[in-house]
Structure 1
Amino acid sequence: MDRVRFGPAGRPLSLKSKKLEDIPPYLKQLGLNAMEYEAVRRVNISEEKAVNFGNLAREYGILLSLHAPYALNLAASKEETYKGSLERLFRAAEAADWMGAYRVVFHPGYYRDLEPNVALRNVIERLGILVEKLVSKGIRTVLSPETTGKVKQVGSLEEVVEISRSIGVKYCIPTIDFAHIYARSRGERPLNVNDYLDILEYIEKELGREAVNPVHIHFSEIEFGEGGEVRHHPIGSGYGPDFTPLAKVLVETGYSAVIISESPLLEEDALKMKKSLQEIAPK
């Protein structure tokens, strides 16, 4: 199943070395071939270090993505807030471009006191400004708004698809966090085979084949409350969603995917999901 890649969100927990350059060979040794570089607090990597890391990742067959800082609110009414958010997202895209990361994953923002349609419009308008800046600087990495797990956040499936359609898939393609979709629905969308298939087909129908070739996926099990996401849990913890139906859909439909484990067990659960897919795939 070469068309499906697996990897952790950040540095593998079992890697004793703290050196960035030791990550790609270690991931290959484990049998993983993707990684999401976590810049979720702030972007803190030099151009030289990012370029070297990207070159090493390519040498070992590791496809990189980058997660931008959590401290973003592109929907904000306050100019200071959204302009600061745009600057942080620009720095993330710049670092991703240095290392050759193919996607920059980010959470779009919060509704706060705004109507959802107004918040969404704000996000789209401000991303349009950012894309113009990225193009002018020759930065080629693709922005990737993520489905979010809390009901107060901009980031329903329909919203991230609309953001991508408005900006254009040349510059913007969603990240589909299935745990977040599950938590945001408070378990009302169980994510069985039909649900997974419906979601992937919806993205393809609305945005075209490019948006699911590959589809960038975050996966873990998740605990939720009235407001949606509470915390992530390991695969097999007893919380939803179940990975096996997604594996079946990927095997049977031919969709390509990059699956990033956001489980607390990171690479261990990335390998568990890879094994699950291999057991379903035709021998």
Structure 2
Amino acid sequence: MLNIGCHLSTTKGFENMGKEALSIGANTFQFFTRNPRGGKAKAIDEKDVAALLRIMEENKFTTILAHAPYTLNACSAEENTRKFALEMMTDDLLRMEYLPNNLYNFHPGSHVKQGVEVGINYIVDMLNAVIKPQQTTTVLLETMAGKGTEVGRNFEEIAEIINRVELKEHMGVCLDTCHVYDAGYDIVNNLDGVLEEFDRIIGLEKLKAIHLNDSKNPFESHKDRHEKIGEGSLGIEAITNIINHPKLCNLPFFLETPNDLEGYGKEIEILRRKALS
């Protein structure tokens, strides 16, 4: 069965996200842990969380994905920004334990002309400070398109971060189809080759989730602009191959396409028809 969902707003609470996911035929979803352009987080309502957990159990949801805000930049040149990232992720991982055994994704960040190695050092320092042995959450590094001074533009940078995390058993990767295509990994014409490279450099056992997005821009553009499924440079055939690939088909897929809830429902319906099982 295809495990697929989309990005939902936390504005109306956790139970509502579960109900919205069901309303569009999803069996998972992604949400921001806090204001994506700021950092403020709502207080945890334990009854609301419990209601979501009931929905997930009763409807056989697969793992869900929490997304850190875009303001989290662990490798910023500004010390206060790095401190903010550390505090925010520490709090997020504590809050995630209300939803045990799920996934937490973040953008590695931008080194802002300090150099990739300096940026990676800062990211590793933060992860080694915040990840605890007892946590049930798996922390995911997202593959990036490589615009500006982004860290995570290739598999080697992702691998270096993971390899230097002390509790790497709590680490994984979220592969974004738009980002990797824009970064120069040809998942349209050479999906098998890209997955072999991922396995050689990072290890496919570390691939825990996929952001399923088409791209507004051409191959290797380093632009990072998502498009609706089948309407971009990847196309519906390539996306169908991705969801049905034997090394990927059991992973959770999360749509981040430019859509409203109804649009996500239509995309999920299309993809369920394309899925082989």
TM-score range for the pair, normalised by the shorter chain length: 0.7 to 0.9
Q: Distance in 2 between matches of 1:126 and 1:20?
A: 28
Matched-pair contact (CA < 8 Å) for 2:7–2:256: yes
- Answering whether residue 72 of structure 2 is matched by residue 66 of structure 1, we say no
Query: Which amino acid in the other structure matches residue 147 of structure 1?
Result: T
2:7 match: 9
Deviations 1:48-99 (Å, cap 9, x if unpaired)?
Answer: 1434433433333233110011111211243322121011112222222212
Quickly say closer, same or farther: Cα 1:235–1:251, change in 2 above 3 A.
closer
Alignment of 1:155-174 (within 5 A): 155-158=152-155, 159-167=157-165, 169-174=168-173
- Answering whether residue 105 of structure 2 is matched by residue 88 of structure 1, we say no
2:267 to 272, 275, 279: 272
Query: Which amino acid in the other structure matches residue 236 of structure 1?
Result: G
Query: Which amino acid in the other structure matches residue 4 of structure 2?
Result: F
Query: Which amino acid in the other structure matches residue 107 of structure 2?
Result: H
Q: Distance in 1 between matches of 2:9 and 2:160?
A: 32
Quickly say closer, same or farther: Cα 1:82–1:221, change in 2 above 3 A.
same
2:206 match: 211
2:42 match: 44
1:31 match: 25
Query: Which amino acid in the other structure matches residue 192 of structure 1?
Result: V
Q: Distance in 2 between matches of 1:234 and 1:102?
A: 26
Q: Which sections of structure 1, spanning at least 5 residues, go unmatched?
A: none
Quickly say closer, same or farther: Cα 1:170–1:82, change in 2 above 3 A.
same
| Matched-pair identity in % | 19
Matched-pair contact (CA < 8 Å) for 1:182–1:240: no
Quickly say closer, same or farther: Cα 1:33–1:45, change in 2 above 3 A.
farther
Q: Distance in 2 between matches of 1:163 and 1:266?
A: 35
Matched-pair contact (CA < 8 Å) for 2:110–2:151: yes
Matched-pair contact (CA < 8 Å) for 2:5–2:268: no
- Answering whether residue 139 of structure 2 is matched by residue 152 of structure 1, we say no
Q: Distance in 2 between matches of 1:259 and 1:123?
A: 26
2:230 match: 236
- Count the aligned residue pairs: 265
Query: Which amino acid in the other structure matches residue 253 of structure 2?
Result: I
1:263 match: 257
Look up the SS of the partner of 2:216 in the other structure.
Answer: strand
Deviations 1:91-147 (Å, cap 9, x if unpaired)?
Answer: 22222221236111101111212111221222122211222xx33xx3220111111
Matched-pair contact (CA < 8 Å) for 2:176–2:212: yes
1:111 match: 111
Shift of 1:258: 1.0
Deviations 1:6-38 (Å, cap 9, x if unpaired)?
Answer: 0011149xxxx9454233234234321110122
Root-mean-square deviation (Å): 2.9
Q: Distance in 2 between matches of 1:261 and 1:95?
A: 24
Look up the SS of the partner of 1:110 in the other structure.
Answer: coil
Matched-pair contact (CA < 8 Å) for 1:107–1:146: yes
Look up the SS of the partner of 1:143 in the other structure.
Answer: strand
Deviations 1:140-171 (Å, cap 9, x if unpaired)?
Answer: 20111111232421121322232223325411
Shift of 1:179: 0.7
1:142 to 122, 138, 142: 138
Quickly say closer, same or farther: Cα 1:105–1:90, change in 2 above 3 A.
same
TM-score (norm 1): 0.80
